[in-house]
Amino acid sequence: MVLRRLDVRGLDEPLEAVLPRPAPPGPVSAAVAEIVAEVLSHGDAALRALTERFDGVVLDAIELDPEAPKAALDRIDDELRGALEVAHRRISAYHEHDVVAEWELHTEGVRVTELVRPVARVGCYAPGGLARYPSTVLMCATPARVAGVNEVVLCVPPGRDGRVDDASLAAAAIAGVDRVYRVGGAQAVAAMAYGTESVGAVDVIVGPGNRYVAEAMRQVSGVVGIPAATAGPSEVLVVAGPDTPAELAAIDLAVQAEHGPDGAAWLVTWSEDKLEEVDAALEAVVADSARRDELAATLAAGGYGCLVDGPEQAVAVANVVAPEHLELMVDDGRRLLERVRSAGAVFLGTRSPASLGDYVAGPNHVLPTNRSARFASALSTRDFRRHIHVVEADAEAIDLLGPCVVTLARTEGLDAHARSIELRT
């Protein structure tokens, strides 16, 4: 079998006790810490040395010519340009709808105003090198622009020829990226967090990456803004019933697994026959794929076929796994939706593959991974904006609410707090 079989039918103990958990960072943490320290100490020199070590590229200029994205946009074919523009339009529309407006509340003589202010500078990370992800450029830069961010920069690893691919650069032009840097990995995250001679420090860093990139974001969090859920290797959990087409379940497992090692692909079903069918179909997909090595590596470490008692237990498993992508590939998916508690994004029915969300559905494809969907959400305009509350009180508020402040302050032994009210009465 391609998928490692789990059977939780009739289980008496909690699912959390028996389902496999993601591996801790381990040696990755120490390796990333060394990279971050090197960039912090040596700036551009470290970026050049690390890019040569990890990407096999000797960099001259770290930043690309500002005209490079526009030139790439002019070079790409009309079909690709049209697809990028459709994706950008739909991503923009969704995030414009998602923008939270300022508001005001006036009660008992106190006016509270909620100000919403964008951060000044955002750094986007898009994987690159041997692959290219122009969709990620759109997903990271577009909501930042919608949120009103003044400057958006992009870090992307160079290919073996030292170039950044035209598709990613064209996406940068469409999304309104201001600067593009040819640097990737943990060193790119460190550069954007602390700044170097070429790369200015940013206020917020967003974007998906491998486990080194995700760990680097964890380590610089607090120095710079990092969304609550850093997006690491891709994950999917497909809930399939007896009538789910096996070939569709198999290809959707492969969609996320083909990103490469360290991800996860779960099939959860209450039909042993369906598990066998999907496993066989997935084996055929792997054998026929141009990315069979990436697929095989992901499935060997993180591919699971889980047998459950029924649809309700299937969703219970999903809530424990808290996958990046949850596909309810069953006819009654909407009924099950009310039971979903932890997922980065949910895709209902057989006509809603996660790949639709990866490109053109509109919501962001930068999603929480590594079970962080238990407490975090997809990237949105809120990750690029700060909420500042303003308090304005009148004499009525001091008379009405002041005694409560005095009582609470004296209870806590904070005499100056109490006196600050008494001097105003």
**In 3D, which of 189, 158, 133 has the Cα closest to residue 55?**
158
Distance of CA 358 to the CA centre of its chain: 11
Q: Do domains 4-24+232-374 and 43-105+116-228 have the same CATH topology?
A: yes
Tens of pLDDT, residue by residue over 183-237, are: 999 999 999 999 999 999 999 999 998 889 999 999 999 999 998 767 778 899 9
The domains of the chain are located at 4-24+232-374, 43-105+116-228, 394-422
Distances (CA, A) of 250 to 76, 240, 268: 32, 10, 12
Dihedral (C-alpha) 21, 26, 31, 33: value to the nearest 10 degrees?
A: 90
Tens of pLDDT, residue by residue over 20-42, are: 987 776 788 999 999 999 999 99
- pLDDT, position 129: 66
This prediction has a pTM of 0.93
Sole residue written with tokens 């959707």: 252
Superfamily for domain range 4-24+232-374: Nitrogenase molybdenum iron protein domain (3.40.50.1980)
Tens of pLDDT, residue by residue over 247-289, are: 999 999 998 888 767 789 999 999 999 999 999 999 999 999 8
Active site residue 324: yes
Count Cβ atoms below 10 Å from residue 387 Cβ, excluding itself.
11
Catalytic residue among 325, 338, 387, 396: 325
Catalytic residue among 294, 324, 327, 365: 324
Q: End-to-end alpha-carbon separation of the chain, Å?
A: 77
Count Cβ atoms below 10 Å from residue 245 Cβ, excluding itself.
15
Can you give the length of the chain in residues? 425
Which three-class secondary structure state does DSSP give residue 225? strand
- Pick one of 3.40.50.720, 3.40.50.970, 3.40.1160.10, 3.40.50.1980 as the CATH number of 43-105+116-228: 3.40.50.1980
Q: Helix-strand-coil percent breakdown of the chain, rounded to 5?
A: 45, 15, 35
Reply yes or no on whether the pLDDT at 130 is more than 70: no
Tens of pLDDT, residue by residue over 77-96, are: 999 999 999 999 999 999 99
Count Cβ atoms below 10 Å from residue 186 Cβ, excluding itself.
29
Contact assessment for residue 299 and residue 263, using Cβ atoms and an 8 Å cutoff: no
Active site residue 325: yes
- The token pair that represents 240 in the structure block: 């399939």
- The token pair that represents 169 in the structure block: 């650069």
Per-position DSSP letters for 318-337, written without gaps between them? HHHH--SEEEEESTTHHHHH
